[in-house]
């Protein structure tokens, strides 16, 4: 799942795309190339629920 966060579409767009991910999909988010505070804000909303279910997130 690529929310195209590199294009800076806004936190609500990124969050909606990430929440719509299906089981076993990878989430692709970018942490380079400028201010990524919007991506970080989206991840703070999206990640707690799967983590509470025991899922782990890794860097590739």
Encode pLDDT of 44-59 as tens digits: 999 898 888 888 888 7
Cα 21 to Cα 34: distance, rounded to the nearest angstrom? 25
On whether the pTM is more than 0.85, the answer is: no
Domain range annotation of the chain: 5-52
Task: Summarize pLDDT for 4-34 with one digit per residue, the tens.
Answer: 898 899 899 999 898 888 888 888 888 887 8
Would you state the structure tokens that stand for residue 49, as one six-digit string? 């629920």
DSSP for 2-56, please give it: ---GGG---HHHHHHHHHTPPTT--------SS--HHHHHHHHHHSHHHHHTT--
């Amino acid at each position: 799942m690529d929310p195209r966060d590199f294009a800076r579409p806004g936190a609500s767009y990124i969050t909606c795309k990430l929440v719509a991910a299906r089981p076993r999909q990878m989430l692709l988010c970018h942490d380079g190339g400028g201010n990524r505070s919007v991506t970080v804000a989206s991840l703070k909303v999206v990640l707690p629920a799967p983590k509470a279910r025991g899922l782990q997130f890794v860097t590739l």
